[in-house]
Structure 1
Amino acid sequence: MFRLEKTDGKARAGIVKTAHGDVPTPVFMPVGTQASVKGVSPDELIEMKTPIILGNTYHLVVRPGLEVMKEMGGLHQFMRWDGPILTDSGGFQVFSLAKIREVSEEGVMFSSHVDGKKFFLGPREAIQAQIVLGSDIMMAFDECPPWPCEKERMEESLARTLRWAKVCREEQGNSGTQNLLFGIGQGGDYPDLRRKSLEALQEIGFDGYAIGGVSVGEPENLMMAAIDHSEPFLPSDRPRYVMGLGHPDQIVRMIGKGMDMFDCVLPTRVARNGTACTETGPESARKPTWTRDEKPIVNGCGCYTCARFSRAYIQHLIKAEELLGLRLISLHNLYFYLETIRQARASILAGRWDEWSREFVGRYRRGGKEKEQETNDD
C-alpha cells in the first residue's frame, strides 16, 4: 500500500498504491470539491501530470446526491477522471459550516447550504457515501474544532473523533471494500492531545494518517508546532497527510518535517483574484509592470499558459474580466504547485533536500517581502 523509497533527513519520498494507480510522494492534490477542479478540465489535469485529486463527501452528498452518483457509476466515471481520488469525509464542514449544523454522539445534522434541507452524516454514513463515490482513499469522519479552543472542549471533541474513527474502521471492514482509509489526528495546539490522538488511531489501525485541525485560523508558528508535536507519533510505514494547506513555502517546510501529502484550494482561489504563483512569491497580474511585458508569468515554466501567453495579455484579460484570464492563471498556479513538489521529490531522491529546500524557501520568502515593499512604495 505504501512503499518508502528514500529519506533525506526527515524528508521522505515514497509511493502510495491505489486501485487507480500509484501516487508518488510527496504529492500535492488539486482540490475538486464538487467533482471539478475549478476552471480546469480533467484532460488539462492529465496534461500537467496530476497524480491524484481530492473531492468532498459533504458537498457531493448535497449535490448531486448519492443516488445520482451511484447511477453515474461513481465519481471517476461521473467526472471522467481515471486517476486516484481522495475524498474528505465532511469532517471539515463540521468546522466551516458551524452555523448550520448540530453535533451529537451519533454524528452531525446538517442544514444544506444549498436549499436548507436537513440531512444526517455520521461515521457510518460518511464511509458508505465514500464507497458509493468510489474513493481510492477515504477519510475517517472527524470533528474539526475551531481555533482557539479551550482544552476541555478539545478533549471532548477528540474523544468523539476517536470513537467515530473506530466506527469508520468497522464500517470499512464490514463493507469488504478495497478502498484505503486514513485516520485523522486532532488535538489543536495541545501537544499531549496530539500524541494521544495519533497513538489511539494507530491502535485502531489505518492505511494512512492525517493531521487535521491545522490552517483553521491559527498563526503559522502554532500550525508548524502542531506538525512538530505530531510527527514523532506517526508510523514511518504509512503515508502522512497534512490537510488543507498551504502556501508553497509552507508545504516545502512540512515536507522537511516528514510529511507526504497535501491539498489546498489556494492555487485556483488566488487565480480568481488575478494572482499568480511564482518562485519569488505571489504576484498580482494587475501590476503596472505587466501592462507591456512580453514575458510569460515565469520564464522557463513548462505550463500551457507560460508556453503561449504574455503577462501583458493575461493582465488585459483580467482587467477586461474575461474568464480565460482566470483559467490561464489557474492552469499556471496548479502547474507551479505540482512542479514544485516534483522538484522536492527529485531532490530527496538525489540526496539534495537541504540545499534545494533552503534555496526554495529563501527565494520565495525574500521575493514576497520585496513585492510587499514595492506595493507599499506604490
Structure 2
Amino acid sequence: MARRIADRAHFQLIRTAPSGARAGVLRTRFGPVETPTFMPVATHANARPLSADEVAASGASIVLANTWHLFLRPGVEVFRHFGGIHRFMGWPRGVLTDSGGFQIFSLEGERELTEAGARFNNPWDATTALLTPELSMEIQHAIGSDIAMVLDECVDATVALDVARAAMERTHRWALRSLARQRELPGDQALFAIVQGGVHPSLRTESAAFLTEHPFDGFAIGGLAVGERRDQLYATAELTAARLPAEKARYLMGVGTPIDLVECVRVGCDLFDCILPTKMAQQGYAYTFAGQLRVGRSDLALADRPLEAGCDCPACTRYALGFVHHLVRGGHAYGVRLLAQHNLHHYQRLMRRLRGAILEDRLESEVRALRDELQPRKAVPKGLFEVVGLRTGVKAIRHTGHGEVMHPGIGPDEEARRLYADQVDLRGMLGRPGGPLRILDIGLGAAANASAAIACAREAWGPSKRVLEIVSLESHLEPLELALADPAGFPYLEPLLPVVRTLLDRGTFEDAGLRWTVRVGDARTAIGSAGGGFELVYFDPFSPEKNPDLWTRAFLSSVRAQCADDARLVTYSAATPSRVALLLAGFYVGTGISTGLRAETTVAATRPELLAAPLGARWTKRWERSTARAPHGEPWSASIDDAVRAHPQFAPLRTHRGGGRIE
C-alpha cells in the first residue's frame, strides 16, 4: 500500500516575520536542514571544483544534483549499484534533485516537446531519449535523493500570456502524472510540485491554487531567473510565496545573487540554489559583505590582509589576499578552488544572518543593512563636478576635470523637455493603451531627462494611461546630489524631491504610475542586465571626445539589443561618426530638432517609419566627403563604407557608379 506523500519529508515552521519571511526546519532522512538555506549545485554529483568535505565545511546541509545529467552519465544502474547518490558522492547530508525541466528548456531547437514528454539526443552516444514525467520519477528514485521534483515545462519568464498558460497547464498535467508514479515507488522520497506562470500574476495565482489541492510535500517557484527584470523576479516570488501553504517548504529555483536571496527570503522563500558561487569563482570573483570583488585586480597584488575579515573559509583564514590574487592572475586551479570555497561560505553566512534576524524579530533592519553592504555605491571623489551658471540665467552641472557642461545651451530643464520629451510626443505615447512604457536613460546626470519624462507621465491623464518605467545608467551620482542640494537652481527637481531622495537611498523608486531604477557603474557592464523592451532610449553621456567608450559601434549594438520592436533613440550629437556608429549598430537614423547651441540633433529608430526626417542623399554625400567616415574608435576601412552603403535605409538611393558612390 502506497504511503501518503504528505507524511514523507516534514517541514516545521518556527517563526514568521511581518514581511512573510520564515525560519524553519526541513527534516530529511539525512538530518535537519535549517531554513532559509542555500543549496550548492552539484550538477554531476560534484560541486565542481570542490570535494564533498569542502562543501560540507561551508555549512551546507543540502545540495542540488541534476537529474538529466546524471541520467545521461553515469546512468541509473550506477546509482542502483551504489545504493544511491549519498554513498556514491560521499555526501551524508540532504540531496534535492531537479527533474530535468530546465535542461529541456535550455535545449530549445535540439528537442521535441510533446504531451508525452521531451525527446532529445543524448550528446554522449547520439541515441534518442524520451524523458517523461514517469521516467523522471524513476530516475530520481534510483538516484535516491531526499527530495524529488516533478517534471515541468519551463519557458522564458516574459513570454506572452497564452504561451505561459499553455506551459503552466502542461506542467499541471505532468505534476499529477509525476505524483501518481512517485506514489507507486517504495521508499520515503519527498516530492515537490512546481508553480509556473511566467511573470503573469493571474497565472501564478491559478497555478498555486491548482497544485496546493494535491498532496505534495512542498512547493517550488519555477520559471524565474530566465529573462525577467529583477523587479519582476521579486514581485513574482512574493506573490507566489503568499499563495503557498505555510506548513510546506517553499523552494525558489535557480536564484540567485546574494541580494536576490535577501529580497526573496524577505518575502517568504525558504530554499534556494544557483551556480553563481562556483561560476563566479571560475571567473575570478569573490562575494563579500562589501560587494563583489574582482580578485585579479592589479591593486591587490600587495594586499596583506584576508580576502574578507570574519570569514572562516580557507582562503580567508590561511592566506593573505595578495596570495589569492597571485593564484587567480596566474590562472592556477587552486585559486579557483579557494574562491569557490569562499563564495559558498559567504552564501551560508548570509543565510545564517537572515535566519538569525528572523528568529530575533529584527529582519527589516538586517535587510536594510544587507542592501547597503551587498550593493555598495562606488566612492566618487567629491569635487569632480560643480554647479555653474549659464548665460540664460539657469544652472547646470560641469565636470571639473574635462570641463564639459551637461545641457550647456538653453539649460537642463528646457533642453530635456524639448529634445527628449516633446520631440517624441511622450505624453501621447503615455496616453495610448499598452503595457508599461520603458525608457533606458543612459547618462542620468542631474536627472533632467528623467524628470522631463516623469513630468509627462504626471500630465498624461485618462483611463488608458501607461505606467512609466525608467532605468538610468550612471557612473557618478554626485551631479544629482549637487542638484538636489540646490533646488532653487534646479527647479525641475522640486516636485520630485521625495522620489529622488528615495532613488538615491535605495537605488529604486516605485509607485502606482512610476518605476525608476538607477544602476551605478560602467554602463558597458550594466546594460546587459537592463531588462530590455525599451521604447525610448535617452542617449546623453558626455561627448565622444570626453567619454569615447559609450559612442562605439559595440556599445550602441548593446543598446540596440535592449530595444523593443518599435523603439527610438534620441541624442544631442549630430556628428558623422556618431551617426555612422548608430547605422552600423542596426538603427535607422534621422535628424532631430535644434537645441540652441546645436542646429541639429539625432533620432535613431528600429524601424524607418518611426523617423520624421531620415538621413538621405544629402547626408550620404556629405558623409562621402567627410574625413571622419568611420564610427568612433575605429579606423576607416573600405568595409565600413560598404556597410554604410548597404544599409537598408539607403536602398532607395543606391545606384553604383565607378567607386560605388550613392547618388
Q: Which band: TM-score by shorter chain?
A: over 0.9
Give the 3-state SS of the residue equivalent to 2:277 in structure 1.
Answer: helix
Counterpart among 333, 346, 349 of residue 323 in structure 1: 333
CA distance in 1, matches of 2:68, 2:377: 38
What aligned pairs does 1:249-268 form with structure 2 within 5 A after superposition?
Answer: 249-268=259-278
Quick check: 2:255–2:274 contact (8 Å CA) kept in 1? Answer: yes
Structure 1 runs not aligned, ≥5 long: none
Report the residue type matching 1:253 in the other structure: E
Give the 3-state SS of the residue equivalent to 2:194 in structure 1.
Answer: strand
My pick for the range that moved more, 162-171 or 106-115, is 106-115
1:101–1:300 Cα change, 3 Å: same
What aligned pairs does 1:122-137 form with structure 2 within 5 A after superposition?
Answer: 122-137=132-147
- The TM-score normalised by the length of structure 1 is 0.96
Matching of residue 248 in structure 1 with residue 266 in structure 2: no
CA distance in 2, matches of 1:369, 1:181: 48
CA distance in 1, matches of 2:332, 2:521: 25
Structure 1 match to 2:119: 109
Deviation at 1:72, TM superposition (A): 2.1
What aligned pairs does 1:1-150 form with structure 2 within 5 A after superposition?
Answer: 1-9=10-18, 10-150=20-160
1:262–1:78 Cα change, 3 Å: same
Which string of whole-angstrom CA distances, capped at 9 and with x for unpartnered residues, describes residues 117-155 of structure 1? 211111100011100000101011100012431211111
Quick check: 2:145–2:189 contact (8 Å CA) kept in 1? Answer: yes
Matching of residue 311 in structure 1 with residue 321 in structure 2: yes
What aligned pairs does 1:160-179 form with structure 2 within 5 A after superposition?
Answer: 160-179=170-189
CA distance in 2, matches of 1:117, 1:243: 29
Quick check: 1:281–1:367 contact (8 Å CA) kept in 2? Answer: no
Deviation at 1:368, TM superposition (A): 6.6
- The TM-score normalised by the length of structure 2 is 0.55
CA distance in 2, matches of 1:332, 1:108: 38
Structure 2 match to 1:273: 283
Q: Which runs of 4+ in 1 moved over 3 A?
A: 113-116, 367-370, 372-377
Supply the RMSD in Å over aligned alpha carbons: 1.8
CA distance in 2, matches of 1:375, 1:15: 39
Deviation at 1:213, TM superposition (A): 0.4
Give the 3-state SS of the residue equivalent to 1:317 in structure 2.
Answer: helix
CA distance in 2, matches of 1:15, 1:194: 26
Quick check: 1:280–1:368 contact (8 Å CA) kept in 2? Answer: no
My pick for the range that moved more, 360-369 or 158-167, is 360-369
Counterpart among 230, 238, 242 of residue 228 in structure 1: 238
Give the 3-state SS of the residue equivalent to 1:138 in structure 2.
Answer: strand
Deviation at 1:52, TM superposition (A): 0.4
Report the residue type matching 1:193 in the other structure: L
CA distance in 1, matches of 2:120, 2:83: 26
Structure 2 match to 1:153: 163
Report the residue type matching 1:61 in the other structure: F
1:367–1:85 Cα change, 3 Å: farther
Which string of whole-angstrom CA distances, capped at 9 and with x for unpartnered residues, describes residues 228-269 of structure 1? 221221110100110001110110110110110000000000
Deviation at 1:375, TM superposition (A): 7.4
CA distance in 2, matches of 1:187, 1:315: 44
Structure 2 match to 1:346: 356
CA distance in 1, matches of 2:346, 2:379: 20
Aligned residues: 377
CA distance in 1, matches of 2:372, 2:177: 44
Quick check: 2:242–2:268 contact (8 Å CA) kept in 1? Answer: no
1:210–1:368 Cα change, 3 Å: farther
1:275–1:151 Cα change, 3 Å: same
Quick check: 1:274–1:326 contact (8 Å CA) kept in 2? Answer: yes
Give the 3-state SS of the residue equivalent to 1:282 in structure 2.
Answer: strand
CA distance in 1, matches of 2:16, 2:156: 34
Q: Which has the higher contact order (CA 8 A, sep 6+)?
A: 1
Structure 1 match to 2:217: 207
Which string of whole-angstrom CA distances, capped at 9 and with x for unpartnered residues, describes residues 278-313 of structure 1? 112111011122110011110121111100111111
My pick for the range that moved more, 76-85 or 222-231, is 222-231
Structure 1 match to 2:435: none
Deviation at 1:65, TM superposition (A): 0.9
Report the residue type matching 2:74 in the other structure: P
Which string of whole-angstrom CA distances, capped at 9 and with x for unpartnered residues, describes residues 78-109 of structure 1? 10111010000101112111122111101111
Could you say which structure has the higher helix fraction? Answer: 1
My pick for the range that moved more, 264-273 or 275-284, is 275-284
CA distance in 2, matches of 1:40, 1:368: 32
Which string of whole-angstrom CA distances, capped at 9 and with x for unpartnered residues, describes residues 203-223 of structure 1? 122100000000002111111
1:360–1:368 Cα change, 3 Å: farther
Report the residue type matching 2:350 in the other structure: T
Quick check: 1:11–1:348 contact (8 Å CA) kept in 2? Answer: yes
Deviation at 1:176, TM superposition (A): 3.0
1:37–1:360 Cα change, 3 Å: same
CA distance in 2, matches of 1:166, 1:156: 16
CA distance in 1, matches of 2:87, 2:376: 44
Report the residue type matching 1:363 in the other structure: E
CA distance in 2, matches of 1:135, 1:278: 31
Matching of residue 218 in structure 1 with residue 222 in structure 2: no
Give the 3-state SS of the residue equivalent to 2:151 in structure 1.
Answer: coil
Matching of residue 186 in structure 1 with residue 196 in structure 2: yes
1:316–1:125 Cα change, 3 Å: same
How many percent identity over aligned positions?
A: 37
CA distance in 2, matches of 1:51, 1:201: 27
CA distance in 2, matches of 1:175, 1:140: 14
Report the residue type matching 1:366 in the other structure: P
The structure with the larger Rg is 2
